[in-house]
Chain A
């Protein structure tokens, strides 16, 4: 029995192999003779990787379809070239081209129309003479000629009249345009790739948007495909100095209008990627400098303040422990009402809105950094990608606008009833408290006896007014750019982009580092000050944090605690 089973097990594979053998024998790989000598083991090596070639769009081709006139087996020589082809190869060799020009000529045998388009484009100029460097050939953008794969064109969304095109190809523009040595030699503009990645289009592309344009979408002449969808042609890239270029002069508004319906010349002046220092108006550059200084100095000052306060807190805690001062359960179990329900509701709306704005906005801003792109993709992926995050960002913006409106209404109503305390207004007392607190943090002694609000809380409060005006104001410009371009000067749009980004950096770092430390994380409060939720503060904390107010309460005998 065992012998029978063993025989069967051995016989079936052998029989299957025997049945397969005639089929294999019937269709020998026509390229095998070439592969016997011309096999590459890794990318970039001369030769063919048969497995990769088998996956390519040209898998059904024989080697001699492109390498014409060869007779395998060799020896074989390259066929001599004449005329323009010979001149192109000679020029390419003289300019030390990194890709084979002969492949370009071979592609033209089947793709004559495309080769003609490339020859007429800015990328074909070098082949006609007077070039400082060799320009691209097919392989420069499509990769190894033996491994060209399909799928570079993005599918058009349903009902779209314009579709972003060869995204994968556009990424390859960077091979030359981000190479400083090549850029300098060719006399190209040096920072186009950096400024593109830093632009809103670049960041959206980096984080996986299928709608945002890459290089070829704006710089390539667009034509309608068989379904009537306008598609940019990456083979027809024109220099922006060429009057026919989609980004030249008057053509630019139409190019922007493919995605931004109603875009006018003013909108088109908002250069998609450019250093603000090179903007037509000096205002964006000036604001860029001012807001960068403002953000950096504010953060440095308050980070220093936090560090000093932490030092003073630890010193205070050690001294209290040494002196044997403990907690007073009576003071910890009695509370004063610090914020009413309206104030807390305003704060809840604001805190949820700001955190949402931060987590949906900063990953997009951070995607300008090549190192952070993957992280940004993952974070924005949690919200359904960059466009899902954008929707949530707008909802969060509406939340903080409601919070701001609610607060203003609250102030007006209290003002009308003459119950507005004005306790948030800065005054001369704050100047003395700043001086005393710095002295306390550096040299010890007693913390200033703050009233209801310390100078830090007043700064927090008024900074929100400033931040709301800046962020909401510029946010609206970015939300409705075409509308604002119709009525406002173009520098306003560029300035809005700059201010929104710089102010977001300042606001988020200030809130998460400085405000969170002062409100929750300093050793005397850690892990949480629940006043934001309950509106109540214990007498113990009031005495510690707002000794002036606590003493006033005791003096007025409003405090039930003696």
Chain B
């Protein structure tokens, strides 16, 4: 197993978790961030013009990328931690078994 493998697995699990529970909220929050930015730039109440819609879409993409990145990086850290624990526990067990034998 490559030393990067646990982190990659962790990042994949993080991304899967993101898709399962956080994609929709991320799109909603990102879209709302776009609405708020559009309100400041184009004035309120926000009208559904092309630029406003584009800014909201941009916000949704950024929201999804941002929260997805957070889950991926968090997952990679968690995966690496699990990897360190398993690699340090496994040799210890092997050593104990050798001593017993």
Contacts and interface: CB of A to CB of B under 8 A. Distances in A.
Are A and B subunits of one complex? yes
Interface of A: 190-191, 194, 275, 277, 288-289, 291-293, 295-296, 299-300, 303, 355, 362-363, 366, 368-369, 371-372, 375, 379, 501-502, 505, 508-509, 512-513, 516-517, 520-521, 526-528, 530
11 contacts: A277-B43, A288-B40, A292-B37, A368-B32, A369-B32, A372-B28, A501-B36, A509-B62, A513-B69, A520-B73, A528-B73
A517 B55 CA distance: 21
B73 to A, nearest CB: 5
- A contact patch SS: helix
Given A191-B45, A371-B28, A375-B28, A289 B40 contact: yes
- B contact patch SS: helix
Nearest to B44: A275
A131 B19 CA distance: 53
Interface residues of B, number: 39
A372 B37 contact: no
Interface of B: 4, 7-8, 10-11, 24-25, 28-33, 35-41, 43-45, 55, 58, 61-63, 65-67, 69-70, 72-73, 76-77, 79-80
A527 B10 contact: yes
Contacts of A508: 66
B37 A369 contact: no
Contacts of B80: 528, 530
B25 A509 contact: no
Contacts of A292: 36-41
Contacts of B77: 528
Given A366-B28, A375-B28, A517-B69, A502 B40 contact: yes
A372 B66 contact: no
Contacts of B67: 512
A509 B11 CA distance: 19
A293 B41 contact: yes
A513 B67 CA distance: 8
B7 to A, nearest CB: 4
B58 A528 contact: no
A505 B36 contact: yes
Given A277-B44, A366-B28, A375-B25, 6 more contacts: A300-B58, A505-B36, A505-B37, A508-B66, A512-B67, A516-B69
A291 B33 CA distance: 13
B8 A527 contact: yes
A16 B62 CA distance: 67
B78 to A, nearest CB: 11
Nearest to A287: B40
A362 B70 contact: no
Nearest to A290: B40
A36 to B, nearest CB: 49
A293 B41 CA distance: 6
B58 A520 contact: no
Nearest to B70: A512
A513 B65 contact: yes
A372 B36 contact: no
A295 B66 contact: no
A485 to B, nearest CB: 24
Nearest to B71: A512
A527 B66 CA distance: 16
A364 to B, nearest CB: 11
B32 A191 contact: no
A369 B28 contact: yes
A372 B25 CA distance: 7
Contact of A191 (B10, B37, B44, B72): B44
